[in-house]
Chain A
Amino acid sequence: MVIFFQQVLNGLTVGSVYALVALGLTLVYGILHVPNFSHGALYMIGAYAAFFAVNSLGANYWLAMLAAAAVAAIMGVVSERLVFARLKDAPPMHDMIAAIALLLFFEAAVQAYWGAEFHRLAPPFPQIVRAFSLTAPAQRLLIIAAAFGLMLALHLFLNRTWIGSTIIATAQNRQGAALVGIDPAFVSTLTFAISGAIAGVAAVLFAPINLISPTMGDLVITKAFVIIILGGMGSVGGAILGGLIIGFAESFGAFYISTDYKDIIAFALLILILSLRPQGLFPQGAR
């Protein structure tokens, strides 16, 4: 029972981090129809920004999280303005290649400054929370609470605010949105900023129980792609559900099958599902 609870907790933690990363990815896909491979780099940049803020500037954890969100958002905006906006009319393959180029560029740039070795962000809440006969590290509970809080905030922003609905309108129909006076260029930039900020926060939440390295985003982003394919590209609810599915599959798979192969589980799941259902689990967003 205790072990089972432990796996549920692990699954929720990892799953909510994946869901946050996948959310940004799916938002960008909804607007620009670009699979933004460089999204994993925004996640990684967020972690390094927080690392820098804590270790070199002496900021506390929350300020570091804010800095991470800001830096990742700015990097997202810069890559949209300088790269994706200019490749709008290019063949779709060029977008994808440029996105990979951005990913490798960011990784190399960070590695040039901080080196390839692993870093640690000191856990701000090393306490253990006890309730009934179960124990849970406070950081994991924080991740889950913050992730779901952020998802709720994003949901309210997209559906209840005027500016959020311009994003949904543009995702539904770019020309139609432009016709009623929504500036698609502004919406694209805004979407990149939001998705970058979410990725940055996700990285700072996850970093204290994980390690920071230039390539830390690679596996996360590939899994985020798995998630948004499972959940339907461009669907916000699907990204959250898909994130949790992968999180649980990994934590239970690592425990009951093998820790060595836990990273393969997500891909194996994707290959299995797409082999049986090429349109994905929830084909609403499929093209």
Chain B
Amino acid sequence: MKIRTWEYFIREVFVSLKRNSWMTFASISTVALSLLILGLFLIIVLNLNNMATSLESQVQINVYLKDELSDKKMEDIGQKIKKLPGVEEIKFVSKKEAMERFKERLGDQQTLLTALGESNPLPNAFEVKLRAPEQVKAAANLINEYEGVENAKFGQDIIDQLFELTKMIRIFGFIIIVFLALATIFIISNTIRLTVFARRKEIGIMKYVGATDWFIRWPFLMEGMVLGLLGSAVATFILRNSYGAVVAKIYDTLTFLPLIPEQPFLNNVSILMVVVGTAIGALGSTISLKRFMKV
């Protein structure tokens, strides 16, 4: 197609967007809403996944010891752990130290400790750092077998739970997104149907004078794509401006959460949203063209 033809198509698209301005507005809003929710779910799922993975990549095992072990016995266990393959560093944390750390973490809620009285229920422990996360599970299993070891933990439970949660949100999100996508396609195809209707005379004449089917289709296809593109632009704009603020808020209260930094993450999500939005627009028009215009 010639450049002049494309100019003509673009002009036609904007004339018709203006002609059906209410439908245009409705279409863009629905696309925006749907994509906003898509983006939101995407961000949540990816962040949870990121959290789970970052926890998984931590290379620390906490080895809790049984009470009433002699210093010699504890020393032996320490030596044995040190000799395990992949162990980089080992640090002893006594009952007393553990209690102090606990107090620190409680902050201004020290009153909780009064219930304990003088007793200290926290065990003596080793913090074992390994060189690679793949070695963690095997090492923890070995250490668990040692005499005098209560248990060796490396956060597997929480990782499993996080993955489980991610999976559920993913399924739930997928269902919602499919419904929204269908609604969006419906709205767009309706808008295009109105355009086809407004132009039926013109379409008829175009066919009689020998315009090709694609020449007739393009303006309608482009109109759907423009609706999708504008809707996704709105959604992307909202998402980009709120993500930073939300991340900052979370860091204020929950410092330890490993959230995905804004860039290039947000750019990738934006690109995806724009692509999906445009594709949905094109699909909506195609459906309308198939049903209402025999070209």
Q: Do A and B bind each other?
A: no
